[in-house]
Structure 1
Amino acid sequence: MIIGWSSISYDLISLALSVILLVAYHVYLNYKIGQNPAYTVQAVNVMARTIWVETIMHEGKDILAVQTLRNSTMAATFLASTAVLLIIGVLTLTGRGNEFSDSWHALNMMGGRHTELLLAKLLLMLLDLFVAFFSFSMSIRLYNHVGFMINVPLKRRHKIINPQHVAIHLNRAGKYYSIGMRAYYFLLPQVFWLFGPHFMLAASVGLIFALYQIDRAPKSMRTETV
C-alpha cells in the first residue's frame, strides 16, 4: 500500500521539527561548553572522574575504587536490562498494534492512521532502545576494564596504564552511559507520537525544557573559573 504525502504530512513535519529542536538544543549546549567547560553536569563529571582516578591510583584506595565501580556497573546493568524488556514490549506491539490503534488515534486529529506509519513509529522506538542497550552494554564493558587498570600500582611505572589513560577509559564509560540515558529521554516524544504528531511536538518542547534544567551544572560551578 502506497501512503500519500498529504496523509502523513503532519507526522513528517512534526518529526522534522522535533529533530531540529533537539539537535539545536545540543548544539547550544556544545556552544556553552566551549565558553565555559563547567557549564553542564556532564562536563563537570568528566573533570570529577579524572581527578578521582588520579586520587585513587596515587593513594591506593582499592576498596573505594571497587565499590564505586560496582555501583556504576549495577546501574548500567539495570538500565540495559530495562532496555531489553522495553524492546520485547515494542516487538509485541508490532504484532498487536491494530488492537490498540483505535485508542491511540482517539485524540489524533491531524496525523496519519495507516498501519505502515504505525510500524514505522514502532521501528524508530526499537532503534532508539537498541542504541540505549548498546550504550549501557559498552558502559559496563569499560567499567570492568577500568576495575582492573585502576588497581595497577603506580610504582610499576607502566607506560600505558597510568592515571591519564585510566581516566580516558572511565570517561568513555561515562559517555556511553550518558548516551544511553539520552536514548531513554528521546523515547518520550516517540511514545507520544503514537497518539498524534501534535503530542510528539509538545513532548519534544517539554523534554527540552526538562533537559535544560537538569543538564546545567549548579550556578556556583558555572560561575567558578575553571
Structure 2
Amino acid sequence: MNALFAPHMLDIVCLAISTGLFTAYHLFVAWKLKKNPIYTLYGATKWAKTAWVVNVMEEKNDILAVQTLRNSTMAATFLASTSILLAVGLLTLSGQSDKLGQTWHSLNALGSTTQSTMTLKLLVILANLFIAFFNFSFSIRLFSHVGFIINTPPADENYGTSITFVAMQLNKAGSYFHFGMRAYYFLIPLIFWLFGPLLMVLSTIIVVVLISHIEKTPKLDCGYLAAFFKQTCALPKR
C-alpha cells in the first residue's frame, strides 16, 4: 500500500489541503447563513426567490414566470453542456498526457512527474466535471418541474400546487445550480494541479479569498436610492 501511494504522497497531501480549505470555507458560510440568512448573495437570493414565487402565484404573472424560468434553464443547460464538453476534451487529452507532461511539469519542482500521477490528476478533474454536470442536470430537472406547477392555481390541501412546495422546489433547483458552480470554481485549483501540487494550494487560497469577497452581501447603502425613494432601508440589518 505504501509503495502504491508513495510516488503521489505530496500531490495527495496538497489535494487534501486544497479540498479541506475549500470545504472549510463553505462550512463557515453555512454556519454564518444559519445566523444571518442574507450573509451571502446566495442566501439573499433564496429569500428573493421565495417572495417571487408568492408574487407570481398570487398575481398570476404567468408570462413573467415562464420567461424567468426559461432563462434559468438555459443557463443551467449551457453549463451542463460545457461540463460534458470539457470532460470529453479531457478524455481526448489523456491520450497525449505523456507528451504534454513534459510541458506541464516544467514548473513542478517537488511533485511527482510519473505517468500514474498524471493519470490520477486527470481522473480527479474528470470526477469534478461530472459532479458539476449532475448538479446542473438536477437543476434543469427541477426548473422544468417548477415551470409546470407554478402556473397551476393553488388549491387547498393540494401539496403539489401549494405555494410553499413551489418555493421549496425553486430554491432546491437554485441550490443544485449553486453546487455546480462550486465544482466549476474548484476546477481552477485542479487545473493548476497539473503544473504542480504547490500551485494548486496557492490557487485554492486565491480562489477562496476571491469567492468570499464576491459572494458576501454588500452592506446596505441607505442613501443609494435616496433621490428616488424615501424608504431605502427596508431590508433587515446585517
Relative to the length of structure 1, the TM-score reads 0.94
SS at match of 1:220: coil
Whether 1:206 and 2:218 are equivalent positions in the alignment is: no
Taking the aligned partners of 2:162 and 2:124, their CA distance within structure 1 comes to 41
CA drift of 1:99 comes to 1.3
Name the aligned partner's letter for residue 138 of structure 2.
Answer: M
Aligned letter for 2:236?
E
Structure 1 158/59 Cα, relative in aligned 2: closer, same or farther at 3 Å?
farther
The alignment status of 1:159 with 2:158, answered yes or no, reads: yes
* Deviation for aligned residue 1:13: 2.1
**Equivalent position of 2:146 in the other structure:** 146
User: Which residue in the other structure is 1:98 paired with?
Assistant: 98
What is the correspondence of 1:34-49 to structure 2 with a 5 Å cutoff? 34-49=34-49
Question: What percentage of residue pairs aligned between the two structures are identical?
Answer: 45
Higher RCO, Cα 8 Å, sep 6+ = 1
Correspondences of 1:160-199 after superposition (within 5 Å): 160=159, 161-199=161-199
CA distance in 2, matches of 1:198, 1:163: 49
Q: Secondary structure at the match of 1:64?
A: helix
Unpaired stretches in structure 1, ≥5 consecutive residues:
none
Instruction: Report the secondary structure of 1:219's partner residue.
Output: coil
Question: How far apart are the structure 2 equivalents of 1:73 and 1:4?
Answer: 42
SS in 1 for 2:95: helix
Q: Distance in 2 between matches of 1:127 and 1:224?
A: 40
Residue 157 of structure 1 and its aligned partner are, at CA, apart by 3.3
SS at match of 2:46: helix
| Residue 214 of structure 2 corresponds to residue 224 of structure 1 | no
- Structure 1 residue 172, shift from structure 2 partner: 0.7
Q: After superposition, what is the alpha-carbon deviation per residue over 1:145-165, rounded to whole angstroms, capped at 9, x for unaligned? A: 0000000113x4352111100
Alpha-carbon displacement from aligned partner over 1:84-114 (angstroms, at most 9, x marks no partner): 1100011112211111010000010000011
**Cα distance, 1:209 vs. partner?**
0.6
Cα-to-partner distance string for 1:40-82 (whole Å, 9 max, x where unaligned): 1111111111110000000000000000000000000100110
Matched, 1:74 2:74: yes
Give the equivalent residue in structure 1 for 2:51.
51
1:14 positional shift: 1.3
Secondary structure, counterpart of 1:113 in structure 2: coil
Tell me the distance in 1 between the aligned counterparts of 2:215 and 2:78: 22
Letter in structure 2 aligned against 1:115: Q
Question: Does structure 1 residue 137 correspond to structure 2 residue 137?
Answer: yes
Inter-CA distance 145–158: structure 2 relative to 1 (3 Å threshold): farther
Secondary structure (helix, strand or coil) at the match of 2:220 reads: helix
* SS of match in other structure, 2:96: helix
Between Structure 1 and Structure 2, which shows a larger proportion of helix residues?
Answer: 1
Q: For residues 5-20 of structure 1, what are the structure 2 equivalents within 5 Å? A: 5=6, 7-20=7-20
* TM-aligned CA distance change 1:191 to 1:66, over 3 Å: same
Give the residue type in structure 1 aligned to 2:136: F
For 1:153 and 1:93, locate their aligned partners in 2 and report how far apart those are by CA, in whole Å: 51
- Provide closer, same or farther for how the CA distance between residues 151 and 158 of structure 1 changes in structure 2, counting only shifts above 3 A: farther
Question: Alpha carbons of 1:20 and 1:4: their partners in 2 closer, same or farther (altered >3 Å)?
Answer: closer
Secondary structure of residue in 1 paired with 2:21: helix
Structure 1: how far apart are the matches of 2:8 and 2:136?
34
SS of equivalent to 1:125: helix
For structure 2, the 5+ residue unaligned runs are 222-234
CA RMSD for the aligned pairs? 1.6
